[in-house]
Amino acid sequence: MSSDNRTPHSEPRALPGTAAARVFRVLLVEDSPTDQQLVKHMLSMVPGLNVDVTVAETLADCIAQLQRSEFDGLLLDLSLPDSTRLASCDRIVEHFPNMPFVVLMGLEDREIGLAAVQRGAQDFLSKRKIDGELIARTLQNAVERKRISQALRDSELRYRALLKAMTSMVWQADARGNFDGDNVDWMAYTSQSKSLAAGDGWLYVFHAEDAARMDREWKAACENATEFETSARLWNVASQSYREVELRAVPLLGDDRKVREWIGQLTDVEDARRTELEMRRTQRLASVGTLAAGIAHEVNNPLGAAQISAQAALANLEANPDRVGECLENVVASLDRCVTIMDNILQFVRTGTGASLRQRLDVIVNHAISLSKGYAAKHNARLSAQTTDPPPLATVNAIEIEQVLLNLIRNAIHSRDGGVNVLVRSELGENGNARLIVHDDGCGIPSEIRDRILDPFFTTRKAGSGTGLGLSIVHGIVREHGGKIEFESVEDGGTTFIVEFPR
């Protein structure tokens, strides 16, 4: 039988579901001339079918044909002179993994047909129960199945490549939240074996102070099928130390809206966090430099008062002893004021920032305003503070929140060239959350830059007069406190920044 025999048609016909002018090329691998003619005849009887059938009588001829020409699909007989049954499937998949093929069997052996599908075939047909419509439909389905399968493989390859390119590791957990799968990256990072990490054993490589909290948060997320996000200290075998990491997991839900599994991401943020902390410390020092003239003014006032009181005491040493005592009290009070100012400065610029404690926000506001008064006077700005009764409480790091206020106050002072009024208010919002509000009656923020003012290094000041880190650092500090920062601004109508903390 010639290998280039074509099915005769007087006019073009299309395989069902394909474009009318497209020819569907099929390679029929069949050594029986009778079966060759039967398959071609059946296909020729299908209305609207435009198919070109090429015949190969051996597996070797099949492979040679596939190497020379392109085919849309393959009909493969499992009884060939140079190959035995399922070995033919293996050879096709080995040499042409993207070729969709359907197996033809002389015997009605469903197990062999299923085995062929497991070895790479898209479907199987019995020669005793076929017709042209069935062959055409099965081939069409085979091509579509292969296309979908290839698309899924390509998607998986892209997914795996993406995981390798990521600086984060991805981990899996089952529906109940138990560590699942190999999680090779996890084992490499922590040196924890798969058996020890199974179930909730993965918690044991986190710092003891974090593990109990994480356990509660994770169980709550699993119970409520909500996203999980936290930060903690994880043991790293390479550095032989605990490193700060951020974890996030999302539940994959089935059609019944129940959790099927969890996909999580873990990112080592230790180096980034250290860099950010150093940047904040540098920015605090820069703030002190910016406020230096005002701070000197604040210190000079009580020092001057102390000097005058001391001179008065000397002048009245013998003539008016009672007056001496009053003068010395003024000296002590003035020096105490200087000590308080210097303590505030030293506390603000120290390397460590202390812990988060439950404390009054109005006290933090007063410290920030105390440091900013001289700077405000230099720029002809007026500062004032308000608070509610009782004063609002929040669990915050006082030094970092003071840094937030100093940045917002300084920006407010520069919102107009002189004469600006700045109000700093601490209050309870309608939702019961503590809030800090910094309002100015300056020129407002132009609409074209409002989306950029929280970006790092963005500044509207002249070159050399600002780094642009202020609001970016403010945003980072507020975010770490679990809070949020918003602003309202009207051109020529002032700006209000609102910082809100959770209860």
Nearest to 386 by CA among 335, 439, 347: 439
Would you state the pLDDT for residue 382? 92
Residue 163 is given by DSSP the state: H
Please tell me the class of the 274-500 domain: alpha beta
CATH 3.30.565.10-classified regions of the chain: 274-500
Check: CB of residue 368 under 8 Å from CB of residue 423.
no
Note the pLDDT of residue 48.
Answer: 75
Contact of 330 with 323, CB cutoff 8 Å:
no
CA dist 58 and 82 (Å) reads 6
Per-residue pLDDT, 177: 82
- CATH 3.30.450.20 residue ranges of the chain are 166-268
Q: What is the DSSP letter of 205?
A: G
Residue 133 is which amino acid?
Answer: E
Q: What are phi and psi of 417, to 5 degrees?
A: -80, 85
pLDDT value of residue 437: 94
- What values do phi and psi take at 102, rounded to 5? -120, 135
Q: Does domain 24-162 have CATH number 3.40.50.2300?
A: yes
In the numeric block, which tokens belong to residue 476? 């980072």
- Cα separation, 206 vs 125, whole angstroms: 57
Transcribe 150-210 into DSSP letters: HHHHHHHHHHHHHHHH-SSEEEEEETTS-EES--HHHHHHH---HHHHTBTGGGGGB-HHH
Distances (CA, A) of 17 to 22, 50, 140, 145: 11, 11, 8, 14
Q: Confirm if 422 and 381 have CB atoms less than 8 A apart.
A: yes
User: Which are the contacts of 355, defined by CB distance < 8 A and separation ≥ 6?
Assistant: 397
State the CATH architecture for 166-268: 2-Layer Sandwich (3.30)
DSSP-derived letter for residue 8 is -
Residues 6+ apart with CB under 8 A from 441: 416, 420, 421, 493, 494
Q: Could you tell me the sign of the dihedral formed by the alpha carbons of 289, 494, 499, 246, in that order? A: negative
> For residue 206, what is the DSSP state?
B
Per-residue pLDDT tens, the chain, 503 aa: give them.
Answer: 333 443 333 333 444 444 444 678 889 998 889 888 888 888 888 887 788 889 999 999 999 999 998 898 889 988 888 887 889 999 999 889 888 999 888 766 788 888 888 888 888 888 878 787 888 888 888 888 888 877 777 776 665 555 555 557 777 888 888 887 667 778 888 888 888 888 778 888 899 888 888 888 988 888 888 998 888 899 888 888 888 888 888 998 888 888 888 888 888 888 777 766 666 666 555 656 555 555 665 566 667 667 777 777 777 777 777 777 777 777 777 777 677 666 656 655 554 555 678 989 999 998 888 878 878 888 899 999 999 988 999 998 887 888 889 889 988 988 888 889 999 999 998 888 999 999 999 988 887 777 766 654 445 554 334 433 457 677 778 887 888 888 888 888 899 999 999 87
Residue with tokens 């000296």: 331
Q: What is the pLDDT of residue 138?
A: 86
Buried-exposed string 426-450: b where 16+ CB fall within 10 A, e elsewhere: bbbeeeebbbbbbbbbbbbbeeeee
- If one counts every other C-beta atom within 10 angstroms of the C-beta of residue 379, the result is 15
State residue 367's pLDDT score: 82
Alpha helices by DSSP H, listed for 14-170, are: 33-44, 59-68, 86-95, 110-118, 132-165
pLDDT at 297: 55
User: Nearest CA to 91 among 128, 59, 139, 113?
Assistant: 59
Domain with CATH 3.40.50.2300 in the chain: 24-162
State the chain's maximal CA–CA distance in angstroms: 140
Peptide bond into 321 cis (omega under 30): no
